[in-house]
Amino acid sequence: MKAIVTGGAGLIGSNVAKILNAKGVDDILVVDHLRGDPLKKRNLDSFAHAAYMERDEFRAAVRAGRIEPPRVLYHLGACSSTTETDEAFLDDNNTGCTRELCEWCIANGTRFVYASSAATYGDGSLGYSDDHAGIPALQPLNLYGWSKQKFDLWALGSGAIGKIAGLKYFNVFGPGEDHKGDMRSVVAKQYAAVRDAGRISLFKSDRPGWADGCQDRDFVYVKDAAAVTVWFGEHPEACGIFNCGTGKARTWLDLAKAMFAAAGREPRVDFVDMPEKLRGKYQYHTEAETAKLRAAGCDVPFRPLEEAVADYVQTHLSRFG
């Protein structure tokens, strides 16, 4: 196999596979956990691949030596729910599995590119630098973030990070997220309301100094995040942990206005109370530092928010949303 993509029926994974197809690569083993989900199956059917394996079957096959190592393994499969409460499950599924695959790749000379997360930065009080020296001090706000942080710490402590690449994805959105339920982006969840009712709901601020709707995020279009991911697969000399973000935070109101513009509607925004389960765990600001990414030689551009939202609406949501 030229490539293995875990989470290949997911948001970033399916877009990585599409980019590989565009580069003439369809010798791809896709690994995922479909669970009969027709939306993930639709993602899987949207690109060419040589084979598919279920997550647990693949993991067992790797342990038993039944999988031929590929040139590149893009490890993007994980439980990405920020509200998951089963720590043992996350320790095994997210952290332990990543370590197993990393060690297997290093032992076999396979390029290993894996998904970390901007969730590792917690409340942002320590900044958003991807400098390795600051990573041990980070305090994620949820168990998902900790599952990513634990692997980053292992990779740094073991020295494996000098042979692999990890990407701290910021707020990725775009085609391929329909199956994610509550973890879908606001664009995906509220497009129908914008289109049909001309309204959108955003969380009120429950923090002094922050106006309603002015909490901000580093919104990253999935097509750009996938292009960065493939770039690292093609550049084994670029090793370490890197932010994958635009470097420019935008407010939720900016996002809402972009959605209304893409749908040809006048903006009307309602503000609702922050859910109790998110209070104290909600990031009010994220913004990637990108100097290290660019210094590594990655010149993949990131679309402006308005352009990204318009493309998402016109190429996907207007058909499936």
Residue 184 tokens read as: 């879908």
Select which of 144, 169, 191, 221 is catalytic: 144
144 is catalytic: yes
Of 275, 159, 261, the residue nearest 206 (C-alpha)? 275
Strands (E), 132-212: 165-169, 171-173, 200-203
> Tokens 């994805």 appear where?
169
The answer to whether 195 and 267 are in contact (CB under 8 A) is no
Q: Which residues contact 125 (CB under 8 A, 6 or more apart)?
A: none
Select which of 180, 189, 248, 281 is catalytic: 180
Strands (E), the chain: 3-6, 28-32, 51-54, 72-75, 111-117, 165-169, 171-173, 200-203, 216-217, 219-221, 240-244, 250-251, 269-272
Count, residues in the chain: 321
Q: Catalytic residue numbers? A: 144, 180
